[in-house]
Amino acid sequence: MTKLNKRKCVNCGEVFQKLKPLQNVCDHICAIEHAQALREKKEKREWQKEKAIRKEKLKTKSDYEKELQIIFNEYIRERDKGQPCISCGAPYGTYKGHASHYYPSGSNKNITFNELNVHLSCDHCNVFLHGNLIAYTERLPLRIGIESFEELKRLKNVPMHYSIPELIELKVIYKEKIRKLKQKL
């Protein structure tokens, strides 16, 4: 047996004499087992794809909103990286950053994904002080400008309902914005 004709069986791992150029199993039993394993692997891959398609079809608008909220919050953390807490002014790096909504997203769905409404905040202000709104109200116009602050107050009362295709499009937009922000670093 020459060294060139020796090969390890892909099924059982034993070394065998290769008789055909593309032979990768030692005998017919290993060939059947290997073919069955490949078939099962292919079926499993196809099932995973089918399951993902079915799962996507079962998503509700709420599911899409939750996915977008995660991506949007990540964008806010990237956008405001390096800035102090919007509420208390704690220096960046001394706190875990939260995407803090000036107008709460639960009662103001129309501006949940408005960039003027959401800024980086320390965990103490956002979680324990519920946004620390008095300080947030003082600092927000300084950060975004009086005109933008007035526009935000006006938009709070304008009804806005996103469709599922709009939510999907916003996910793509914010993923791209995150990618661009991370490239700058």
Are 77 and 36 found together in one domain? no
Are 79 and 39 found together in one domain? no
Are 40 and 91 found together in one domain? no
| CB crowding 79-100: b at 16 or more within 10 Å, else e | bbeeebbbbbebeeeebebbbb
Task: Give CA separation, 11 vs 2, 3, 19, 28, 127, in Å.
Answer: 22, 20, 17, 11, 56
Are 86 and 33 found together in one domain? no
Are 158 and 180 found together in one domain? yes
Are 142 and 123 found together in one domain? yes
Are 145 and 175 found together in one domain? yes
Last residue within a domain, chosen from 11, 33, 58:
58
Encode the chain (185 residues) as per-residue pLDDT tens digits. 455 678 899 999 999 988 888 889 999 999 999 999 999 999 999 999 999 999 999 999 999 999 999 999 999 999 999 999 999 999 998 888 999 999 998 889 999 999 999 999 999 999 999 999 999 999 999 999 999 999 999 999 999 899 999 999 999 999 999 999 999 86
Last residue within a domain, chosen from 33, 58, 83:
58
Q: Give the pLDDT of residue 100.
A: 96
Q: Give the pLDDT of residue 4.
A: 65
Q: How far apart are CA 184 and CA 175, in angstroms?
A: 15
Are 11 and 35 found together in one domain? yes
Q: Give the pLDDT of residue 1.
A: 47
Are 92 and 179 found together in one domain? yes
Q: Residue 16: which domain range? A: 3-58
Q: Give the pLDDT of residue 2.
A: 53
Are 105 and 154 found together in one domain? yes
Last residue within a domain, chosen from 13, 30, 58:
58
- Contact between 81 and 120 (Cβ < 8 Å): yes
Are 101 and 173 found together in one domain? yes
Q: Give the pLDDT of residue 3.
A: 59
Are 37 and 110 found together in one domain? no
Count of structural domains within the chain: 2
